[in-house]
């Protein structure tokens, strides 16, 4: 091979790297929590602040924890998908993140409440434990209370059909 091809080869390699870089989403940070037990919390529920809910109560089920807020526009975007998942019989718990209770309740009344229940995290402290950095976020938690999958940003049909549902199927079978 002639040496004259070397600059072209260098360019092709560089363009290849940059091309791959363009297809990646820099906002998607791999979570270190995958395969780890879901961080414990006990928080008051949105519907009744006198009642509390803790992660342990969902043990024995394959369930979703969906981080949402009434101020979060992309949450509205994924809302029909969350409702569809709920209709399929998948238990979904909401973590109402850094929100005001009246605003959150009004949001659920207006757009529908697909959650088995929502707990409130007004300070975002539990959010930090879950590594939340962009609402909405969705965590798939197995029967043993281990986080199996995390999606940052609004769910989309592709993720639901190709990843989430097959994974739920598998975890339920095991």
Residues that bind other proteins (CB under 8 A): 7, 10, 14, 26-27, 29-33, 98, 123-125, 127-131, 133-134
The total number of residues written for the chain in this structure: 174
* Complex with other proteins: residue 31 or 138, whichever CB lies closer: 31
**CB contact set of 174 (below 8 Å; sequence gap of 6+):** none
- Smallest gap from residue 133 Cβ to other proteins (A): 4
**Vertex 92, ends 90 and 96: CA angle to 5°?**
170
User: Are the beta carbons of 41 and 55 closer than 8 angstroms?
Assistant: yes
* Comparison of 114 and 136: residue with beta carbon closer to other proteins: 136
Nearest by Cα to 134 from 158, 111, 152: 152
Nearest CB to other proteins, comparing residues 141 and 168 = 141
> Where on the phi/psi map is residue 124: left (φ > 0), alpha (ψ -120 to 50), or beta?
left
Q: Which lies closer to other proteins via its Cβ, residue 32 or residue 102?
A: 32
* Least separation in angstroms between CB 33 and other proteins: 7
Q: Min. distance of Cβ 99 from other proteins in angstroms? A: 12
Residue with tokens 């297809």: 23
């Amino acid at each position: 091979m002639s040496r004259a091809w070397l600059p072209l080869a260098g360019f092709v390699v560089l363009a290849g790297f940059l091309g791959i870089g363009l297809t990646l989403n820099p906002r998607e940070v791999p979570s270190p929590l995958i395969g780890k037990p879901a961080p414990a919390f006990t928080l008051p529920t949105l519907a009744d602040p006198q009642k509390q809910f803790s992660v342990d109560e969902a043990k024995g089920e394959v369930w979703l924890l969906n981080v949402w807020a009434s101020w979060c526009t992309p949450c509205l975007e994924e809302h029909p998908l969350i409702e569809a998942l709920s209709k399929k019989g998948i238990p979904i718990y909401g973590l109402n993140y850094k929100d005001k209770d009246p605003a959150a309740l009004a949001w659920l009344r207006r757009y529908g409440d697909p959650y088995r229940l929502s707990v409130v995290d007004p300070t975002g402290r539990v959010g930090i434990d879950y590594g939340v950095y962009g609402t909405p976020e969705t965590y798939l938690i197995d029967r043993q209370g281990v986080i199996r999958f995390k999606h940052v940003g609004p769910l989309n049909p592709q993720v639901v059909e190709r990843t989430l549902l097959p994974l739920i199927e598998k975890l339920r079978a095991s």
